[in-house]
Structure 1
Amino acid sequence: MNRSINVLPVVLCLFATSFLRADEPAEVDSNRFQQAHSRTFRAFDSQTERTWEKPFFFVQLADPQYGMFTGNEGLDQEKALVNQAVKHINRLQPKFVIVCGDLTNATPAQARYEAQVSQYQQDFSKIDPGIPLVCVCGNHDIGNRPTAESIARYTEHFGDDYFSFWVGGVFNVVLNSSLLKDPSGVPERLQQQQNWLEQQLQHSRVKEAKHIFVFLHHPLFLEQEDEPDQYFNIPLERRTPLLALLKAANVRAIFAGHYHRNAYGRAGEMEMITTGPVGRPLGKDPSGLRIVQVEETQIQHAYHSLDSVPDTID
């Protein structure tokens, strides 16, 4: 019997297997995208994080919107921009990262939604595991007229659509702004969010926070709190009473996206900060991110293009 073996096919097979493994996408930790649960964010311990210790900074992104560049035909440009942002984040080591909505371009009702969610999770999984990643739902994530079904699809992938959490003595609220924009599909959900928000802001411990921040996708307004209704803001019918509630609670700043460029305004002492996109820009502001430095009595923030992010933060 001829016991000789042709090893060439075996070698080629092993080489091919090794090559494919090197090119496999990053492993997705699904638990990382389910930290928003039971109306809180589990990556932060609410007991220890209520206490102020020292200044910190966080990074805000908005509108990666996978698929927007090509009308849902490809994801390469969004992937490249997000990977560039992730490298900056891993170098800077912020306290946390928050993405203010429109994670995908396709809505849950569209065919390419799951593929875009998968790419989003693969790319954002590259953020250092020690840096909590907070996701906020936008109108593309649950539709311009959200339904119980579209919200359920979002929460299946990213956890709660609204919640709160403490970080370093600061109280943070995440809202589902699509309910504020058009609640007609699920009016009861808007009322539930409103009742929850009022309870949160009236809590005695919240009144002791060094700052209160609100994060959502749609800006309540772009420049003036009483500006006319338009696509990029919340209708006055729901904007005006919400602003009154937030002012009464001494909210320090509201952070949003949706506009795909930067905008700034004030409602009394409260800042309305609209951040440009990490994905496709719609104005003169390039793709970028915002760095927010939190001090005991004030905050500072600046938007940086992805080509001009500082090397370190003092």
Structure 2
Amino acid sequence: MTRTQTNLLAILILLAGPALWADEPNRKVSSRFQQAESRSFLGFDAAQEQVWQAPFFFIQLADPQYGMFTGNTGLEKEQVLVQQAVAHINRLQPRFVIVCGDLTNATPDHARYAAQVSQYHQDFSQIDPEIPLVCVCGNHDVGNRPTATSIDRYRDNFGDDYFSFWVGGVFNVVLNSSLLKDPAGAPDRLLAQQKWLDQQLNNPQVQHAKHVLVFLHHPLFLEQADEPDQYFNIPLERRLPLLEQFKQAQVRAIFAGHYHRNAYGRAGDLEMITTGPVGRPLGKDPSGLRIVKIEEADLQHEYYPLEDVPAQVE
């Protein structure tokens, strides 16, 4: 090959590169999406955040699920909805934002997974960098029957699949609920998560938290703690022992998604809050977000359609 031909080939590769790699995420994942590390969250100073300072609020999203509207052939509808949510977030300036799973519609072994991850990174990177962004894995993110391989693929793109963090005197636990739903593909990962959870909830410091909150993708239950097993809840054999553990640890509330509509239930003093999607709805609740207000002795929350999010939070 002559020097002229070599130079021409190099130019063609450079010109073709973006098209060839359009479905691939950035090779270097933004550090914003790697804050969940070593079972903690680097966006918060654990020692400083264990102390109550003042009331605050955070925003919970669920199921952006890029690709769901079109069966993985397009992302435009999800983009529009997420961009609306991001605009609200940047205006309201919450203490943090948490996205409770199904970040993509494609699973890690699907051909469109990389493109959907890339779009998620692009859109959620528009959130003010001063607002920590917490990501939670859902069944589409690690598969309905997660494996070590699918979980590790998720961690490459979004950080740890379970971890804890303190914010303003509140202790927060994030779990991989797909392991609770069906652990058959990675039973050792479920055992490791449970051992870690035992240690977290038995930590003496947690007893001094103003509130203990749990975030996951699958609701433990929708309305009744002992309701029959179904697609949208965690099986009773793992649900009931976990609920008992949460009650003993005085968990105030559990926040979930997965249902693509809102649902509410209680198990004693523990509140189960299932939040509708920022992406495609499957019921009467439109695409929206939840604003959660934290006071020293109380917690209040409300779901808002994207068209009705308030101008400010008092």
TM normalised by structure 2 equals 0.91
Structure 1 distance, partners of 2:203, 2:143, is: 32
Structure 2 distance, partners of 1:228, 1:98, is: 28
CA deviation string 1:70-115 (max 9, x = no partner)? 0000000000000000000000000000000000000001000000
> 1:156 offset after TM fit, Å?
0.1
> 1:63 offset after TM fit, Å?
0.1
Q: Which amino acid aligns with 1:78?
A: E
1:271 aligns with 271
Deviating 4+ runs (over 3 angstroms):
none
1:35 aligns with 35
Contact 2:212 2:250 in 1 (8 A): yes
2:129 paired with 1:122? no
2:64 aligns with 64
Matched ranges for 1:164-313 at <5 A: 164-313=164-313
> 1:221 offset after TM fit, Å?
0.1
Q: Which amino acid aligns with 2:276?
A: G
Q: Which amino acid aligns with 2:221?
A: F
> 1:166 offset after TM fit, Å?
0.2
1:140 aligns with 140
Contact 2:95 2:131 in 1 (8 A): yes
Structure 1 distance, partners of 2:221, 2:192, is: 23
> 1:120 offset after TM fit, Å?
0.3
SS in 1 for 2:110: coil
CA deviation string 1:167-198 (max 9, x = no partner)? 00000000000000000001011011001001
Structure 2 distance, partners of 1:148, 1:50, is: 32
Q: Specify the structure having the higher radius of gyration (Cα).
A: 1
CA deviation string 1:54-77 (max 9, x = no partner)? 000000000000000000000000
Structure 2 distance, partners of 1:74, 1:310, is: 30
Contact 1:29 1:125 in 2 (8 A): no
> 1:29 offset after TM fit, Å?
6.6
For structure 1, the residue ranges without an aligned partner over 5 or more in a row are 1-25
> 1:312 offset after TM fit, Å?
0.3
Q: Which amino acid aligns with 2:161?
A: D
2:108 paired with 1:105? no
SS in 2 for 1:303: strand
Contact 1:95 1:132 in 2 (8 A): yes
Structure 2 distance, partners of 1:292, 1:179, is: 26
SS in 2 for 1:302: strand
CA deviation string 1:213-253 (max 9, x = no partner)? 00000000000000000000000000000000000000000
Q: Which amino acid aligns with 1:87?
A: A
Structure 2 distance, partners of 1:313, 1:257, is: 23
Contact 1:52 1:168 in 2 (8 A): yes
Contact 2:58 2:96 in 1 (8 A): yes
SS in 2 for 1:220: coil
What is the aligned residue count?
289
Contact 2:29 2:157 in 1 (8 A): no
Structure 2 distance, partners of 1:52, 1:39, is: 22
2:51 aligns with 51
SS in 2 for 1:205: helix
Structure 2 distance, partners of 1:184, 1:127, is: 37
SS in 2 for 1:199: helix
SS in 2 for 1:150: helix
1:76 aligns with 76
Q: CA RMSD in A?
A: 1.2
Structure 2 distance, partners of 1:121, 1:264, is: 30
